[in-house]
Amino acid sequence: MKADDRRIFHRLVTLEDASRMLMDKVTRTPDQERVLISQAFGRILAKTVYSRTDLPPFDRAEMDGYAVVSSDTEGASENTPLRIRVVGRVDAGSTFRGEVIDGSCVEIATGAPLPRGADAVLMVEYTSRHDDFIDVYKAVTPGENVAHAGSDLEIGEVVLRRGSFIGTREVALLSAAGLGEVEVYGKPKIGIISTGNELVEPGLELSPGKIYDVNSQMLMAAVAEAGGLPSFIERVGDNPEEIKRALRAAIDSMDLILISGGTSAGLGDSVYKAIGDLCDPGILAHGLKIKPGKPTVLAVHKGKAVIGLPGYPVSALMVFSQLVKPLIQRMSMVKGRSEIVTQAEITQRVNASKGRKWFLPVHVLKGRREKAYPIIASSGAVGTLARADGYVVLPEDVEYIERGEVVKIRLFGEQEITEDLLVMGSHCPALDLLLETLFEKRGISARALNVGSMGGLTAVARGECDLAGIHLLDEETLTYNKQHVRRAGLPDWCLVKGYRRAQGIAIQRGNPKGVKGLQDLIRGDLIFANRNRGSGTRILTDRMLKGISDELGLEFKDLVARIRGYRSEFKTHSSVAAAVCQGRADLGVCVKGAAVAYGLDFIPLADEEYDFVVNPESKDKDSVKEFISCLRSESFRENATRLDGFTFW
């Protein structure tokens, strides 16, 4: 080889620039596939799954006992029991065809559907049976010992969002939703080529000057751990033509190719030349400003990454961890996974490698205070690396770290799952659509917790989440959300306007009971499915009922005492619609989308304003800014208005 064939490092880049190059240039992603639920563990969901039914699908008893009208038990105690007539029995898997009216009850088994007219289950332990009567020794409240339809999962609600990691709990959830198979992202196929005249396959005898090929085995394991499908292509010598031949064999069938060894600036290193000759558009960078791991080659061939890793195992693994693993996870759409980070005191002074970012392996010893013992060793010290618990990142501009200094340690091994965005508050199908769009278009993973409007607002005020979706009517000003945000101690700018949702009365198809409005509730022959206190819908309903009581010259408490079911508390729009659909109630107030999902007729009452509250501490987060941008985008608004009952300002 001629002297001018010696390569020097050029296009030396920082780790951040290298990552940006790869993320921008690599467009290859594996095809999606459908798998059985039994094979879905560990995969990433490629299509958002919506519930086709409520979980549970009906109001059901959580205890053995008696389905009762809760008001019939008021005042009951051990000393002053009340007597109620038993008019039948219902077991799990069957239904009770009659109706529970005042002064009567139905014996009920755990898991059985709650009969029409009943609003609570009285545990058998607090009763004694005497022929067709029971003595009641304890009062119950509306909804006690009842699992309402949709309280676990509503019809039309997101079961799992696109991009979700499918673990044990997710498999259970998908099974409960009745799914036999799901669409998942394909795992990227990663081809591994090992180079070096000195390499011998592990297990064979070493001759003088030879070493075992550690990198091929190590990278196979690392690829599998990162979520890829490793494939060992070939072990070749330090010859550009041999490397080209192996690269040609892999480049069409693989999604990403890793070549270890032969990337430094020495005479015998040939990977740079082989990659440069074969790849189109070719090499992006040769050399990284890190230690260990400087001799790294980054290239792209028709949207596929071709990465030349250093030959020393420690260097190769560090570069894999910092560059290749994130790329594999991006290709397989593994979102929201981050290294587990801990803190410890460094046990000795370490002089850094100024001008290069240094990944320093450490042992971590736990005690009253965690201690980090630096591992100062060669980049080829595999045994030392295997005993390391993690590594410390020393920035380029740091000259040293002093003994006793507290450092952050990135642990090897399993990763914790995190989300870019945490949203709490009232459930809304349009919000589900928005979060799905945010993941698909911007790559932002989010977790949504449906805790109700007031629960979400409280969580923001406490700094427990990034955003909350709310629709809270102020009874004094008859305006939505703004006054509640102020009462929570938050500034006005935290409120971001969202959209309007149509609320109204859900009734059975064809309106067999001739319902005209909420004023019909006092007729006596109608059962009402009411929402829970604190919900925006309950506030709206009570305001309208107060208007009716004023018109009739009645006290509000006297009016609601005449409404059958008023004291019941359904926690979701879907559970209200389910109760009407299944005949356990005749009408209820919910959003139009829930009524349509159950095939019910809908009498509009009012449009409510569904807005978002931003945590002041989260206002500068990129994920929050992207959320607001997506909320205001034309594409989201067009898709959201296709949902029933949604309009924008």
CATH code (residue 385): 2.40.340.10
Tell me how far the alpha carbon of residue 516 is from its chain's centroid. 42
> What CATH number corresponds to the domain at position 329?
3.40.980.10
Which of residues 365 and 133 earns the better pLDDT score? 133
Average pLDDT of the residues in 16-22: 90
What's the mean pLDDT when you consider all of the chain?
88
> What CATH number corresponds to the domain at position 169?
3.90.105.10
Give the residues across from 479 on adjacent strands.
none
Q: Quick: pLDDT tens for 313-329.
A: 888 998 998 999 999 98
Burial 135-174 (b: 16+ CB within 10 A, else e): ebbbbbebbbbbbbbbbebbbbbbbbbbbbbbeeebbebb
Question: In this structure, which amino acid lies at residue 29?
Answer: T
Residues 183/187/189/190 CA torsion (nearest 10 deg):
170
Average pLDDT of the residues in 270-292: 87
Average pLDDT of the residues in 70-74: 94
Say what the pLDDT of residue 413 is. Answer: 64
The secondary structure of residue 493, as a DSSP letter, is: G
Q: Are 223 and 321 in the same domain?
A: yes
Q: Taking the chain, what is the end-to-end CA distance rounded to the nearest angstrom?
A: 72
Q: Are 308 and 440 in the same domain?
A: no
Say what the pLDDT of residue 128 is. Answer: 97
Q: Are 297 and 392 in the same domain?
A: no
**Distance between CA atoms of residues 577 and 628, nearest Å:** 31
What pairing do the DSSP bridges indicate for beta strands 528-529 and 587-591?
A: parallel
Do the domain assignments include residue 40? Answer: yes
Say what the pLDDT of residue 384 is. Answer: 54
Q: pLDDT band at residue 267, thresholds of 50, 70 and 90?
A: very low
Side-chain half-sphere exposure of 375, counting CA atoms within 13 A: 25
**Distance between CA atoms of residues 271 and 338, nearest Å:** 31
Total number of domains in the chain? 5
Q: For residue 328, how many other CB atoms are within 10 A of its CB?
A: 24
Q: Are 24 and 93 in the same domain?
A: no
450 and 459 Cβ atoms separated by less than 8 Å: no
Average pLDDT of the residues in 348-365: 81
Does residue 155 carry a pLDDT above 50? yes
**Distance between CA atoms of residues 271 and 215, nearest Å:** 15
Say what the pLDDT of residue 1 is. Answer: 38
From 197, 208, 70, 230, select the one nearest 565 (Cα to Cα): 70
Q: What is the length of the chain?
A: 649
Q: For residue 58, how many other CB atoms are within 10 A of its CB?
A: 20
CA quadruple 230, 233, 234, 235: dihedral sign: negative
Q: Are 326 and 363 in the same domain?
A: no
Question: In this structure, which amino acid lies at residue 349?
Answer: R
What pairing do the DSSP bridges indicate for beta strands 400-401 and 350-351?
A: antiparallel
462 and 487 Cβ atoms separated by less than 8 Å: no
Does residue 52 carry a pLDDT above 80? no
Q: Are 609 and 478 in the same domain?
A: yes
Q: Are 107 and 43 in the same domain?
A: no
Q: Quick: pLDDT tens for 467-491.
A: 999 999 887 888 999 999 999 999 9
- The share of the chain scoring above pLDDT 90, in percent, equals 49
Question: In this structure, which amino acid lies at residue 494?
Answer: C
Do the domain assignments include residue 391? Answer: yes
Q: Quick: pLDDT tens for 503-517.
A: 999 999 999 999 999
Do the domain assignments include residue 586? Answer: yes
Q: pLDDT band at residue 108, thresholds of 50, 70 and 90?
A: very high
Do the domain assignments include residue 410? Answer: no
Number of H helices, E strands in the chain: 17, 38
Q: pLDDT band at residue 492, thresholds of 50, 70 and 90?
A: very high
66 and 134 Cβ atoms separated by less than 8 Å: yes
Stated as kind and residue range, the H or E segment containing 19 is: helix 15-25
Do the domain assignments include residue 265? Answer: yes
Q: Are 560 and 443 in the same domain?
A: yes
From 169, 151, 185, select the one nearest 48 (Cα to Cα): 185
> What CATH number corresponds to the domain at position 91?
2.170.190.11
3-state helix, strand, coil in the chain (%, to 5): 30, 30, 40
**Distance between CA atoms of residues 336 and 465, nearest Å:** 16
391 and 361 Cβ atoms separated by less than 8 Å: yes
From 457, 462, 461, select the one nearest 472 (Cα to Cα): 457
Average pLDDT of the residues in 421-449: 86
- Has this prediction a pTM greater than 0.85? no
Residues 518, 579, 647: CA angle, nearest 5 degrees: 65
* Residues spanned by the domain of 348: 341-398
Report the largest interatomic distance among the alpha carbons of the chain, rounded to a whole angstrom.
107
Residue in this structure with the two tokens 């509503």, named with its chain if needed: 154
Q: Are 427 and 493 in the same domain?
A: yes
312, two tokens: 């020393």
Average pLDDT of the residues in 114-134: 95
Average pLDDT of the residues in 288-301: 90
Do the domain assignments include residue 356? Answer: yes
Q: Are 546 and 616 in the same domain?
A: yes
Does residue 412 carry a pLDDT above 60? yes
Do the domain assignments include residue 413? Answer: no
Q: Are 441 and 302 in the same domain?
A: no
Q: Are 502 and 377 in the same domain?
A: no
Do the domain assignments include residue 370? Answer: yes
> What CATH number corresponds to the domain at position 504?
3.40.190.290
**Distance between CA atoms of residues 253 and 251, nearest Å:** 6
